[in-house]
Amino acid sequence: MDFYEKIEKHIAAKLPLVVYRKPSERLIHAILQKDDELKYLNDFTESGFIFAPFDSEKRIVLMRSDENFRFEPSINADHRGFVISSPVEVNTDQKDFHIGMVKEGIAKIDEGVLQKVVLSRRFTVDVNSRPVELFKRLSATYPNAFCYLWYHPKVGLWLGATPEILMTLENTRFTTTSLAGTQPYNDSKAPSWGKKEIEEQALVTDYILGSLKDKVTDLVQSETESVRAGKLWHLRTKITGVLAHENLENIIKALHPTPAVCGLPKLTAKEFITNHEGYDREFYTGFLGELNFSFNSSKKGDRADFDRVPHIRGTKSSLYVNLRCTKITNKSAFVYVGGGITRSSEPEDEWEETIAKSKTVLQALQN
Q: Where are the domains of the chain?
A: 3-73+94-365
3-73+94-365 has which CATH code?
Answer: 3.60.120.10
Tell me the backbone φ, ψ of residue 60, rounded to 5 degrees: -100, 130
Residue 367's Cβ-count burial label (10 Å; 0-12, 13-18, 19+) is middle
Which DSSP letter does residue 286 get?
Answer: -
Tell me the pTM.
0.89
d(CA 37, CA 57): 21
Per-residue confidence (pLDDT) for residue 271, from 0 to 100: 97
Identity (one letter) of the amino acid at 340?
Answer: G
SS3 per residue for 51-78: EECCCCCCCCEEECCCEEEEECCCCCCC
Task: List the chain pLDDT tens, one digit each, 367 residues.
Answer: 699 999 999 999 999 999 999 999 999 999 999 999 999 999 999 999 999 999 999 999 999 999 999 999 876 554 443 444 445 667 788 999 999 999 999 999 999 999 999 999 999 999 989 999 999 999 998 999 999 999 999 999 999 999 899 999 999 899 999 888 888 887 767 888 988 888 888 888 999 999 998 888 899 999 999 988 777 888 999 999 998 777 889 899 999 998 889 999 999 999 999 999 999 999 999 999 999 998 776 544 444 443 444 556 788 999 999 999 999 998 899 999 999 999 999 999 999 999 988 988 998 887 6
d(CA 117, CA 200): 10
Q: Mark residue 261 as left, alpha or beta (left: phi above 0; alpha: psi -120 to 50; beta: remaining).
A: alpha
Contact between 247 and 98 under an 8 Å Cβ cutoff? The reply is no
Q: How far is CA 198 from CA 87, 186, 236, in A?
A: 30, 19, 10
Count the helix, strand and coil residues of the chain and give each as a percent rounded to the nearest 5. Answer: 25, 35, 40
Closest CA to 283 of 53, 68, 39, 42: 53
* Bridge-based pairing state of the strands 48-52 and 216-221: unpaired
d(CA 301, CA 308): 12
Identity (one letter) of the amino acid at 194?
Answer: G
Q: How far is CA 109 from CA 159, 182, 268, in A?
A: 33, 20, 11
Contact between 347 and 121 under an 8 Å Cβ cutoff? The reply is no
d(CA 161, CA 180): 16
Which H or E run includes 329?
Answer: strand 325-329
Per-residue confidence (pLDDT) for residue 307, from 0 to 100: 47
Per-residue confidence (pLDDT) for residue 330, from 0 to 100: 86
Helices and strands (H and E) in the chain: how many: 7, 18
Tell me the β-bridge partners of 234: 182, 227
Maximum CA extent, the chain: 65
The per-residue DSSP string of 107-173 comes to HHHHTTS-SEEEEEEEEEEE--S-HHHHHHHHHHH-TTSEEEEEEETTTEEEEEEE--EEEEEETTE
